[in-house]
Amino acid sequence: MFPSPASVARPQPAGVQSAASLACAPPLSDAARRLGVLPMPNLAWTPEVEAATAHLYEKVKAVMPPVEWPFHAPYVKAINELKKERNAVILAHNYQTPEIYNCVADVVGDSLQLAKLASQSKADIIVQGGVHFMAETSKLLSPEKIVLIPDARAGCSLAESITGADVRALRAKYPGVPVVAYVNTSADVKAEVDICCTSSNALKVVESLGSDRVIFLPDKYLAKNVQAQTKVQIIAWEGACEVHERFTAAEMLRYRADDPSITIIAHPECPPEVVEVSDFAGSTAAMIDYVKTKKPKRVLLVTECSMADNVATETTGTEFVRPCNLCPHMKRITLPKILESLIYLREEIVIEPALAVRARRSVQAMIDLG
Ligand code: 13P
Ligand code: SF4
């Protein structure tokens, strides 16, 4: 079924570093100085690797042709072994690629689920399969753990749209109005706000504050989508997700005209016109639940591309139509970078302690809301 070991040339997928490039790798993290660097495992595609990973290929075979597996399998095996050696867990967001989501992640979920699980994990090390703000949130909730992001450049257009100084200016402009920050923000911003929210609890958080006006940042579309469901007056920031803002209602209506029975489900970071023509809008976890429980025959997933692949690995009987857009930040995380993260304990998330105390308060306020 798979190509023979001899026919699989090394090195393999994009992101792999040669021994020469590792020689000029960045300085060791504090964690690596304390716990040491591990040797690079053998990454050959061998009969032993094939046998050890066959059960994992079964999980992704619906979305991955056999010819691809020999490139992933040696990393999958090595990462799963190193996780045990390091007492590490991998928390993967629903937008991670299928080989990460299905084959090395210990926990998968939306932002809220990952944040909660970060605070409950018994591991010494968390490797965040996701973007930088997610790793920072994990560090805030588990300050005693080593939290690693396999590529520190994995950012987010929302998190980059606002700073702590911007929040202070908003507070000066609207004195006494409570401030809600989407978790897609830096620790610097979280330190300035009253409470955080995710796409799965935004409405509940806004209404929990008992105020007739709330500043909601940084996603203007999520703000409008929440505004459509509440009497609380929302003052929004002008940020947007570069992935979801590209979807249009006209595009959705064309799909609907081609197939009136199609089910359209969208992420609430999409513009309100897109949400309005959808049958359902919810966080990535809520979208997955919707497909699993309602089992639509044909579904249009209006979100990042890996979602459809990941739901397809867990469901049968649903046809996925994928008008998807790729998140370039999520896609910076690859198996080779996760492996290096475990070997070199990098990139370590470090948050200045006084800032962390203030930022944790707003994340914890959201979690305490239940
Ligand atoms: P969810 O919380 O719905 O997973 O979305 C967060 C997000 O922005 C992923 O990019
Ligand atoms: Fe940020 Fe959008 Fe990418 Fe999510 S999908 S990480 S909101 S840019």
Domains of the chain: 5-156+330-344 (3.40.50.10800), 159-241 (3.40.50.10800), 244-321 (3.40.50.10800)
Q: How far is the CA of 159 from the centre of ligand 2 (A)?
A: 9
Q: How confident is the model at residue 121 (pLDDT cuts 50, 70, 90)?
A: confident
Q: DSSP string covering 13-53, please?
A: STT---HHHHHTPPPPPHHHHHH-PPPPPP----HHHHHHH
Six token digits for residue 84:
């045990």
Spatial distance between the Cα atoms of 66 and 323, rounded to a whole number of angstroms: 25
Q: Residue 10: pLDDT above 70?
A: no
The residue to mutate among 219, 304, 332, having the most atoms of ligand 2 within 8 angstroms of its beta carbon, is 304
Query: In this structure, which residue's CA is closest to atom 8 in ligand 1?
Result: 184
Residues 221-247 have a mean pLDDT of: 98
Q: How far is the CA of 110 from the centre of ligand 1 (A)?
A: 6
Spatial distance between the Cα atoms of 306 and 326, rounded to a whole number of angstroms: 8
Q: How far is the CA of 293 from the centre of ligand 2 (A)?
A: 26
Classify 275 as helix, strand or coil: helix
The answer to whether 86 touches 342, Cβ cutoff 8 Å, is: yes
In the DSSP assignment, the letter for residue 304 is B
- Comparing 20-34, 65-79, 134-148, the range with the smallest average pLDDT is 20-34
DSSP H or E segment with residue 120: helix 111-120
The type of residue at 173 is K
Spatial distance between the Cα atoms of 145 and 5, rounded to a whole number of angstroms: 39
* Residues with a CB atom less than 6 Å from ligand 2: 131, 156-158, 184, 241-243, 269, 304, 327, 329-330
Q: Residue 23: pLDDT above 80?
A: no
Q: Residue 89: pLDDT above 80?
A: yes
DSSP H or E segment with residue 356: helix 353-368
Which ligand is closest in space to the CA of residue 304?
Answer: 2
Place of tokens 């749209």: 161
Classify 369 as helix, strand or coil: coil
The answer to whether 265 touches 287, Cβ cutoff 8 Å, is: yes
Which ligand is closest in space to the CA of residue 156?
Answer: 2
Q: How far is the CA of 184 from the centre of ligand 2 (A)?
A: 8
Atom of ligand 2 nearest to the CA of 156: 1
Q: How far is the CA of 36 from the centre of ligand 2 (A)?
A: 33
Query: In this structure, which residue's CA is closest to atom 6 in ligand 1?
Result: 111
The type of residue at 150 is P
pTM: 0.93
Which ligand is closest in space to the CA of residue 328?
Answer: 2
Residues 251-272 have a mean pLDDT of: 97
* pLDDT of res. 12: 46
* pLDDT of res. 11: 47
68 Cβ contact partners less than 8 Å away, ≥ 6 residues apart: none
Q: Residue 324: pLDDT above 90?
A: no
Does residue 94 have its Cβ closer than 6 Å to ligand 1? yes
DSSP H or E segment with residue 300: strand 298-302
Model confidence pLDDT, tens digit, residues 128-153: 999 999 999 999 999 999 999 999 99
Pick from 118, 140, 155: nearest CA to 363: 140
Does residue 188 have its Cβ closer than 6 Å to ligand 1? no
Q: Residue 82: pLDDT above 60?
A: yes
Per the model's pLDDT, the better-predicted residue between 122 and 360 turns out to be 360
Q: How far is the CA of 51 from the centre of ligand 1 (A)?
A: 35
